[in-house]
Structure 1
Amino acid sequence: MPEVIINGPEGRLEGRYHHAKTPNAPIAVVLHPDPRGGGTMNNKITYALYQTFVQRGFSVLRFNFRGVGRSQGSFDRGEGELSDAASALDWLQTYNPNASASWVAGFSFGAWIGMQLLMRRPELVSFISVAPPANMFDFTFLAPCPVSGQVIQGDADEVVPEASVAKLVHKLSNQRDISIDYQVIPGAGHFFADQLTQVTGAVDRYVRDTMAALPVATAGGAGRGALR
């Protein structure tokens, strides 16, 4: 799990990277929760998502947004953090130019940033959003949502009410050709203190099944035709 330094829009971004041994392995970038609440790339859910992709044979990057840890810059209300995520994906693609597929995953604030990244980067084939803060941030940009994905939410979330996420999932699911795998974890709060196994199990199953169903033509080109 080597430490890496990425050239971001406001200076260096601190990250951790796992390079898969399999040629043309798929890639994933994992985004952490709100820095204003102490969110970092070492957050428990963020790390669990990272490890789940590692175990599925992906080359995976997680990193600290600007102003977090050793990443330079300062918090930018999401606009700068989206640029950070795009730079991180650029870096990941540079080291994996023949990746078979590209994914994004995020927790809370990171889920919001990740879903914005979907709109900018057509090579992303799917997403994982854990506890997307649908009650705090505007998700209307997902019109239309470009790809299907998975949303995981606790039904006892004290930060993001499950009803808010269910409403978002309903809107996305009603879009043409979009399927959202919505997993509600019973008894789970925002940080899934005792439900980490359920979260990782759901993510693992979804990634496995989605990758198995991807046509070769769809999975290819992870490093081609990217919009910045």
Structure 2
Amino acid sequence: MYPAGNLYIPVSHGRLEAIYRPRTESAERVALLLHPHPLHGGTMHNKVVFRAARALQEAGFETLRFNFRGVGHSTGEFDDGRGECDDAVAALEYLIFHQPRAREVVIAGFSFGSIVGLKVGCGDPGIHSLIAIGAPARFIDKDLLRECGKPILFIHGAEDDIAPLEPLKNTLETLPLSADQRLVVIEGRPLFRRPFKRADRGNQGFRRSLKVIGMCRNVPHAL
């Protein structure tokens, strides 16, 4: 049976199924998480998205993850990234509406979700920083990144065979990245192939990556 979320976000095409993890009524740090490609099994329950959400929660963030249109109990159908950007904006508006005092807003996406996150986050002045996990180099908009001007953390598995590391490194080297935009490589098996019984080790990699840009300053065990 498909595991259900804990709320539905109203949108123009119906609703988005989501999981919201509030910490307080007046959170200062919030994060929106975006899952992999809907047509290739991507959901908000993806293990990489789950681990990233947990690492961000441990770093003091409230997190919201949701299913794009046509996934799980979300209405609508796949729209080749266009409608999915609209979904991300709607989820972001929901998150900020419920936490209007948030001073740090982060978008974190995995694979397809990372591309959606970059498109939405770079164009929104209210977004503080972006996390792109396993970003497929061939879909990265170089012009968008050149003009983005926001802190961006690229997290990539050294042995990722779906979105290989080298093309991403080559893409980022041509920009080049600014001082607050960087690539952190996690050694070992691809992130999406690590079973949940090794979740703690997977989370250590995420926490170390977040520590690099100061997101884990409130997590004593981040290292």
The TM-score with structure 2 as length reference comes to: 0.84
Of 161, 164, 170, the residue aligned with 1:161 is: 164
The answer to whether 1:109 aligns with 2:116 is: no
2: CA distance between counterparts of 1:131 and 1:86? 21
Deviation (angstroms), 1:191 = 1.6
**C-alpha RMSD over aligned residues:** 2.3
1:24-63 alignment runs, 5 A limit: 24-63=27-66
1:90 aligns to what?
A: 93
1:21 Cα shift? 2.3
2:220 alignment partner in structure 1: none
Give the equivalent residue in structure 1 for 2:184.
Answer: 183
Question: What SS does the corresponding residue of 1:65 show, helix, strand or coil?
Answer: coil
State the 1:158 CA deviation. 1.4
Q: Which 5+ residue runs of structure 1 have no aligned equivalent?
A: 214-228
Contact 1:154 1:185 in 2 (8 A): yes
Q: Which residue of 2 aligns with 1:126?
A: 129
Counterpart amino acid of residue 148 in structure 1 = P
Question: What amino acid is aligned across from residue 210 of structure 1 in structure 2?
Answer: G
TM superposition shift of 1:205: 3.7
1:170: how far off?
2.1
**CA deviation digits over 1:79-134, x for unaligned, max 9?**
10011001000000000000121001011001111111112211111111111011
Tell me which moved more, 48-57 or 34-43.
48-57
Q: 1:8 Cα deviation (Å)?
A: 2.1
Q: Using a 3 Å threshold, how does the CA distance of structure 1 residues 201 and 171 change in structure 2: closer, same or farther?
A: farther
Give the distance between the partners of 2:73 and 2:79, measured in 1 at CA: 16
Unaligned runs of 5+ in 2: 218-223
Measure, in 2, the Cα distance between the counterparts of 1:212 and 1:63: 23
Aligned to 2:141: 139
